[in-house]
């Protein structure tokens, strides 16, 4: 794409970022943040990084946006207007100078480095051995599988951390209901959500499968699944599970456990996380399907929030 | 040449985003907005990684994968942060109600 | 097979199991301690510098795991600290009350996550993998802090997130500049150009926040003081060491080319200020746990005060490694003992401790023995560490550094004698029957280990220097054991 297009895109990214931070209204800021995330997705498309674009739009803009909006709504319901205490203009000026200085330093450093595809060629020579064609999936599930393994535990750990702060009487109950209270919109969303959950399952499965060779993968697929679960919960088609539900626990640990298990299986052949020759693609796809399922459930529950006492389940969702 | 310019353009945009996010983090006095500001800075770092990995025709898949990892880690921490903010607000809310009740009796 | 990956993977397996185990946490912990102890022994028997890439994917693409001297000291120390803290925690987060309490259910998965993160951080040389590791540690640490105070935890999380952004910013510059994020490769490639220097500064800034070096320590005292005792022990013992170790790997190995003497002296100066500030704050505290938390702020100062001494004469590197291990073990002992003392005391203040020496002699002894190591009195791990550091400072003519360390020791004596003096005062308090023997034994065992470290000075210092990076002055070690033993005869 042309440089002019990129230039306009970058200006819009900076504009929406500035608006998301400088607006007085917190909700307005969040809306601009979501727009910012989607524009970033386009920037990644412009860089030819479709995998990242999908992840940015689905997770960076989508999931993070919903998280922030839901937090804002729940804070408002408790009487917190989410207003910032004013800061003195002198302080703002001083901070602006410091941040401006950081931007200048970073820019000098950035301009001293010549942009180039450093490892693409090396990765391309290794891809045939994996039997898959998407190099980003190759990096995530083979060359840097160790990073990805630890990352799945960050996600799982975050959910456990959210459980840890359940209020008294909230353990081990369900998260506050997300179901929409107004009957009319409930009918519409209710019908819609019953269709959307299976559709998201199919879509997630497709994204994981295609992720071996084309853009997509476990994280993008998992996020679509999380979206389906959340819309179904919004429409009241499903109830979110209790935190001590062993079926839930099994789904949550399935992906990380499969990853660990296949990694440990590699020890029999030499090294942790080495795939036996000929089985690379099969094992990578197996890990990815299990991961997508676990990521979908984990992200959905992360958005829904901590377990609350049963009495609060109904009123907490607006 | 154009690839070079495009790469630098996105990397510089990323650098400005980092500074903007830091400004927001320091000047915004509400945890939810600070959480948003950290995410803006984080997105800026990711964009720097992507921009500086831009080759003549392709973008280096290595930083792409790192950015995807980074995005997932960021959402995990943001979700926990939002949960902490809500729990904190609940505690404050409950304390306020206790005070009011205590004042009436 | 290699312990380098298993030491990270095994706690993750236990995390998964703990999520499915329900009431079986006790057996799981026993299995975990046995497994980790065996793996740690295996690690210590490896030649320093043993390394391999994960999954067989070569650098610069893959992730390198390496056992250097620092890791071979710290990982077993983590096993000891985490294992004994876990035994203590079995009673505080008793699995029998599983169904009723969110903290009890969440503690164990988070505990194993933190264990894995600490080992992962000490065993890899990959700067991006260390970013993921830092976030694993952050999640577990903040969640444990939230069990004491949500407000302190929220502050901790936000500041930790900002620290991560700065760290990742440096990683992004390094990857783009050199095409690798591996410390061992960077050691041979790094140049002292602007981008590298800026990356080093940004990463160091981010890591110092996580290591809570003054003046970036503000989040630590409220979080560490409010958390439940086993959580405090893990936070002060394990988590702050992660940021420190990564800083060491950057300054003395990966980016040593950009690490100017001026920069090292700035870090050393900040370390000196941290010692003085943290100690003076600890003296001013009225609450016991806040005192112990501020002592952590002071003790972290020693780790950075040593930076400008590393390349010169003497054995600052060994002293540094030693101090990290000794502080980890002694501080965990002290937080666990303090937790028991506060359960028996009338309130959280130091003044409420009166008579406890009579009521719970073993626990107050554990507190006192841990204090001996933290003050740097012989014979203890803390003494060996400070002896090596002061010796290096004097040999290099850095009289101010030596003086700050000695003053820090005196101030530590002032703030640590105060709770002990109160505990020994008064005699009316009846003996408190211990709730569980292992709760009393855990801090005592840790405190004794901190003390015994002083006798293992020679071999441990050899171990630390064995895998030291090339920037560390290679010099034969003095007969440390003799020195320690001579000094210990003067005591009492």
How confident is the model at residue A282, as a pLDDT? 94
How confident is the model at residue B103, as a pLDDT? 56
**Are the beta carbons of C169 and B21 separated by less than 8 Å?**
no
**Domain locations along chain B:** 2-104
Select the residue of B5, B14, B92 nearest A3 (Cβ to Cβ). Answer: B5
pLDDT in tens, C265-293: 999 999 999 999 999 999 999 999 999 99
Q: Which chains touch A (3 or more CB pairs under 8 A)?
A: B, C
Instruction: Tell me the pLDDT of chain B averaged across its residues.
Output: 92
**What confidence category does residue C480 fall into, taking pLDDT thresholds of 50, 70 and 90?**
very low
pLDDT in tens, A238-282: 889 999 899 999 999 999 999 999 999 999 887 899 999 889 999
pLDDT higher than threshold 50 for residue B105: no
Rounded CA-CA distance C317/C475 in Å is: 11
Instruction: Indicate whether C380 belongs to any domain.
Output: yes
> For chain B, what's the residue count?
105
> How many domains does the structure of chain C reveal?
1
* CB of C203 less than 8 A from some CB of A: no
* CB of B24 less than 8 A from some CB of A: yes
> Could you give the 3-state DSSP secondary structure of residue C430?
coil
* CB of A228 less than 8 A from some CB of C: no
Strand partners, C310: none
pLDDT in tens, A112-136: 999 999 999 999 999 999 999 999 9
Buried b (16+ CB within 10 A) or exposed e, A30-45: bbbbbbbbbbbbbbbb
**Are the beta carbons of B70 and C142 separated by less than 8 Å?**
no
Rounded CA-CA distance C403/C144 in Å is: 37
Q: Are C92 and C231 a contacting pair, CB within 8 Å? A: no
**Are the beta carbons of A147 and B69 separated by less than 8 Å?**
yes
How confident is the model at residue B1, as a pLDDT? 56
How confident is the model at residue C491, as a pLDDT? 39
* Residues of chain C contacting B49 with CB distance shorter than 8 Å: 172, 175-176
Distances in Å between the Cα of A301 and the Cα atoms of A178, A239, A251, C83 are 11, 11, 12, 31
**What confidence category does residue A185 fall into, taking pLDDT thresholds of 50, 70 and 90?**
low
pLDDT in tens, A29-42: 999 999 999 999 99
pLDDT in tens, A88-112: 999 999 999 999 999 999 999 999 9
Instruction: Indicate whether C491 belongs to any domain.
Output: no
Q: Are C302 and C323 a contacting pair, CB within 8 Å? A: yes
Question: Pseudo-torsion of CA C278, C279, C282, C283, nearest 10°?
Answer: -150
Terminal Cα distance for chain A, rounded: 43
Instruction: Tell me the pLDDT of chain C averaged across its residues.
Output: 91
The CATH number corresponding to B2-104 among 1.10.287.3510, 3.40.190.10, 2.30.110.10, 2.60.40.10 equals: 1.10.287.3510
Instruction: Indicate whether C473 belongs to any domain.
Output: yes
How confident is the model at residue C307, as a pLDDT? 95
pLDDT higher than threshold 90 for residue A82: no
How confident is the model at residue A148, as a pLDDT? 97
How confident is the model at residue C95, as a pLDDT? 64
Q: pTM for the whole thing?
A: 0.95
* Residues of chain C contacting A135 with CB distance shorter than 8 Å: none
Q: Please give the share of chain C, as a percent, with pLDDT higher than 70.
A: 93
> Could you give the 3-state DSSP secondary structure of residue B81?
helix
Question: Quick one: CA dihedral C213, C215, C221, C227, positive or negative?
Answer: negative
> For chain A, what's the residue count?
318
Q: What is the DSSP letter of B54?
A: B
Q: Nearest-CA residue of chain C relative to B38?
A: C162
Question: Quick one: CA dihedral B27, B31, B36, B39, positive or negative?
Answer: positive
**Residue span of the structural domain in which C392 resides:** 3-485
pLDDT higher than threshold 60 for residue A169: yes
Rounded CA-CA distance B73/C346 in Å is: 43
**What confidence category does residue A181 fall into, taking pLDDT thresholds of 50, 70 and 90?**
low
Sequence-separated contacts (24+) of C413-416 with Cβ below 8 Å: C413/C375, C413/C377, C414/C279, C414/C283, C415/C279, C415/C282, C415/C283, C415/C285, C415/C291, C415/C294, C415/C295, C416/C295, C416/C371, C416/C374, C416/C375
How confident is the model at residue C133, as a pLDDT? 98
Q: Are C239 and C163 a contacting pair, CB within 8 Å? A: no
* CB of A172 less than 8 A from some CB of C: yes
Q: Retrieve residue A316's tokens.
A: 């907490």
* Residues of chain C contacting B35 with CB distance shorter than 8 Å: 158, 161
How confident is the model at residue C466, as a pLDDT? 72
Of C481 and C251, the structure prediction assigns the larger pLDDT to C251
Rounded CA-CA distance A18/A13 in Å is: 9
pLDDT higher than threshold 80 for residue C210: yes
Select the residue of A99, A139, A155 nearest B61 (Cβ to Cβ). Answer: A139
Closest CA to A154 of B86, C86, C117: C117
**What confidence category does residue A69 fall into, taking pLDDT thresholds of 50, 70 and 90?**
very high
How confident is the model at residue C97, as a pLDDT? 54
Q: Please give the share of chain A, as a percent, with pLDDT higher than 70.
A: 94
Rounded CA-CA distance A51/A45 in Å is: 9
How confident is the model at residue A317, as a pLDDT? 39
Q: Retrieve residue A124's tokens.
A: 């391309």
- Provide mean pLDDT across the span C213-222: 93
Of B1 and A54, the structure prediction assigns the larger pLDDT to A54
How confident is the model at residue C484, as a pLDDT? 44
Q: Choose the weakest-confidence range: C4-8, C393-397, C410-414, C434-438.
A: C434-438
Q: What is the ipTM of this complex?
A: 0.95
How confident is the model at residue C436, as a pLDDT? 83
Restricting to A residues 74-103, those with a Cβ less than 8 Å away from any Cβ of C are none
- Provide mean pLDDT across the span B64-73: 97
- Provide mean pLDDT across the span C433-452: 90
**What confidence category does residue B3 fall into, taking pLDDT thresholds of 50, 70 and 90?**
low
* Residues of chain A contacting C106 with CB distance shorter than 8 Å: 160-161, 163-164
* CB of C108 less than 8 A from some CB of A: no
* Residues of chain A contacting B38 with CB distance shorter than 8 Å: none
Rounded CA-CA distance C482/C489 in Å is: 11
Q: Would you list the DSSP string of C33-95?
A: HHHHHHHHHHHHHSPTTEEEEGGGPPTTTS-EEEE-HHHHHHHHHHHHHHHHHHHHHHHHT-G
**Are the beta carbons of A122 and C61 separated by less than 8 Å?**
yes
Best residue of B70, B71, B74 to probe chain C, by most C CBs closer than 10 Å: B70
Restricting to C residues 163-182, those with a Cβ less than 8 Å away from any Cβ of A are 169, 173, 176-177, 179
Rounded CA-CA distance A115/A121 in Å is: 15
Chain C residues with a Cβ under 8 Å from any Cβ in chain B = 61, 128, 131-132, 135, 138-139, 142-143, 146, 150-151, 153-154, 157-158, 161-162, 164-165, 168-169, 172-173, 175-176
- Provide mean pLDDT across the span C402-413: 96
Rounded CA-CA distance C198/C9 in Å is: 34
Distant-in-sequence, close-in-space partners of A124: CB < 8 Å, separation ≥ 6? A135
How confident is the model at residue C488, as a pLDDT? 43
pLDDT higher than threshold 90 for residue C311: no
pLDDT higher than threshold 90 for residue B4: no
Q: Over the Cα atoms of chain C, what is R_g?
A: 21
How confident is the model at residue C28, as a pLDDT? 95
């Amino acid at each position: 794409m042309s440089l002019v297009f990129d230039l306009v895109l970058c200006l819009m990214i900076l504009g929406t970022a500035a608006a998301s931070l400088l607006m007085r209204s917190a909700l307005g800021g969040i809306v601009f943040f979501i727009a910012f995330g989607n524009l970033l997705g386009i920037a990644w498309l412009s860089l030819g990084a479709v995998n990242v674009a999908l992840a940015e739009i689905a997770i960076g803009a989508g999931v993070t946006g919903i998280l922030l909006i839901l937090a804002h709504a729940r804070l408002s319901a408790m009487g917190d207007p989410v207003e910032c205490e004013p800061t003195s203009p002198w302080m703002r000026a001083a901070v602006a100078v410091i941040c401006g200085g950081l931007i200048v330093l970073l820019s000098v450093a950035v301009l001293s480095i010549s942009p180039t595809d450093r490892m693409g060629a090396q990765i391309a020579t290794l891809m045939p051995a994996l039997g898959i064609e998407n190099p980003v999936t190759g990096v995530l599930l083979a060359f840097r599988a160790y990073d990805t393994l630890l990352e799945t535990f960050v996600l799982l750990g975050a959910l456990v951390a959210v459980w840890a702060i359940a209020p008294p009487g909230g353990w081990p109950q369900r998260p506050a209901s997300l179901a929409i209270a107004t009957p009319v919109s409930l009918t519409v969303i209710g019908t819609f959500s019953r269709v959307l959950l299976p559709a998201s399952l199919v879509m997630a499965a497709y994204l994981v499968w295609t992720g071996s060779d084309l853009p997509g993968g476990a994280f993008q697929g998992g996020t679509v699944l999380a979206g389906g679960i959340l819309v179904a919960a919004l429409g009241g088609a499903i109830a979110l599970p209790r935190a001590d539900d062993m079926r839930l626990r099994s789904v949550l640990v399935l992906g990380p456990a499969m990853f660990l298990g296949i990694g440990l299986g590699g020890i029999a052949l030499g090294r942790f996380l080495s795939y036996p020759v000929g089985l690379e693609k099969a094992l990578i796809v197996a890990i990815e399907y299990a991961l997508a399922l676990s990521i979908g459930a984990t992200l959905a529950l992360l958005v829904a929030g901590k377990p609350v006492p049963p009495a609060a389940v109904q009123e907490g969702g607006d | 040449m154009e690839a070079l310019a495009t790469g630098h353009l996105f990397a510089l945009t990323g650098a400005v985003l980092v500074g903007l996010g830091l400004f927001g983090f320091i000047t915004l006095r509400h945890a939810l907005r600070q959480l948003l500001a950290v995410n803006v800075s984080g997105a800026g770092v990711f964009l720097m990684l992507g921009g500086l990995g831009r080759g003549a025709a392709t973008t280096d898949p290595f930083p792409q994968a790192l950015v995807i990892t980074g995005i997932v880690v960021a959402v995990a921490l943001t979700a926990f942060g939002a949960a902490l903010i809500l729990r904190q607000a609940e505690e404050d809310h409950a304390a306020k109600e206790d005070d009011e009740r205590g004042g009436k009796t | 097979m290699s312990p380098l990956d298993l030491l990270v993977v095994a706690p993750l397996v236990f995390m998964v199991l703990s999520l499915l185990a329900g009431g079986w946490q006790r057996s799981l912990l026993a299995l975990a301690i046995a497994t980790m102890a065996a793996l740690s022994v295996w690690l210590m028997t490896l030649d320093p510098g043993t390394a391999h890439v994960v999954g067989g994917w070569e650098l610069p693409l893959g992730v390198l795991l390496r056992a250097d001297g620092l890791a071979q000291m710290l990982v077993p120390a983590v096993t000891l600290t985490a294992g004994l803290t876990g035994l203590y925690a079995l009673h505080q987060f008793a699995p029998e009350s599983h169904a009723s309490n969110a903290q009890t259910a969440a503690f164990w998965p988070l505990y194993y996550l933190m264990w894995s993160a600490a080992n992962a951080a000490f065993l890899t040389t990959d700067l991006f993998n260390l970013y993921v590791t830092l976030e694993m540690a952050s999640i577990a640490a903040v969640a444990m802090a939230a069990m004491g105070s949500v407000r302190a935890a929220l502050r901790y999380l936000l500041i930790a997130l900002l620290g991560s952004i700065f760290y990742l910013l440096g990683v992004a510059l390094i990857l783009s500049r050199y095409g690798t994020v591996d410390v061992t490769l960077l050691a041979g490639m790094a140049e002292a150009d602007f981008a590298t220097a800026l990356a080093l500064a940004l990463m160091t800034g981010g890591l110092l926040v996580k290591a809570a070096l003054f003046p970036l320590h503000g989040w630590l005292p409220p979080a560490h003081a409010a958390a439940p005792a086993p959580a405090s022990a893990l936070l002060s013992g394990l988590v702050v060491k992660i940021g420190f170790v990564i800083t060491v790997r950057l300054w003395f190995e990966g980016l040593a080319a950009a690490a100017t003497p001026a920069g090292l002296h700035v870090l050393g100066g900040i370390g000196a200020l941290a010692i003085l500030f943290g100690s003076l704050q600890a003296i001013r505290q009225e609450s016991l746990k806040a005192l112990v938390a501020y002592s952590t702020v002071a003790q972290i100062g020693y780790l950075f005060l040593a930076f400008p001494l590393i390349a010169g004469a003497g054995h600052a590197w060994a002293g540094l490694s030693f101090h990290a291990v000794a502080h980890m073990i002694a501080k965990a002992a002290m937080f666990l003992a303090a937790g028991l003392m506060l359960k028996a005391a009338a309130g959280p203040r130091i003044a409420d401790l009166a008579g406890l020496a009579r009521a719970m002699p073993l626990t107050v002894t554990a507190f006192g023995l841990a204090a001996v190591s933290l003050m740097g009195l012989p014979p203890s791990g803390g003494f060996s560490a400070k002896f090596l550091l002061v010796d290096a400072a004097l040999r290099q003519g850095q009289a101010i550094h030596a003086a700050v360390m000695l003053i820090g020791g005196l101030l530590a004596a002032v703030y640590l004698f105060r709770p002990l003096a109160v505990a020994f005062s008064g005699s009316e308090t009846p003996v408190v029957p211990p709730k569980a023997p292992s709760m009393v034994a855990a801090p005592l065992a840790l405190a004794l280990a901190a003390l015994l470290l002083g006798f293992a000075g020679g071999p441990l210092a050899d171990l630390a220097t064995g895998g030291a990076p090339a920037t560390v002055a290679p010099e034969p070690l003095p007969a440390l054991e003799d020195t320690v033993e001579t000094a210990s005869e003067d005591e009492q």
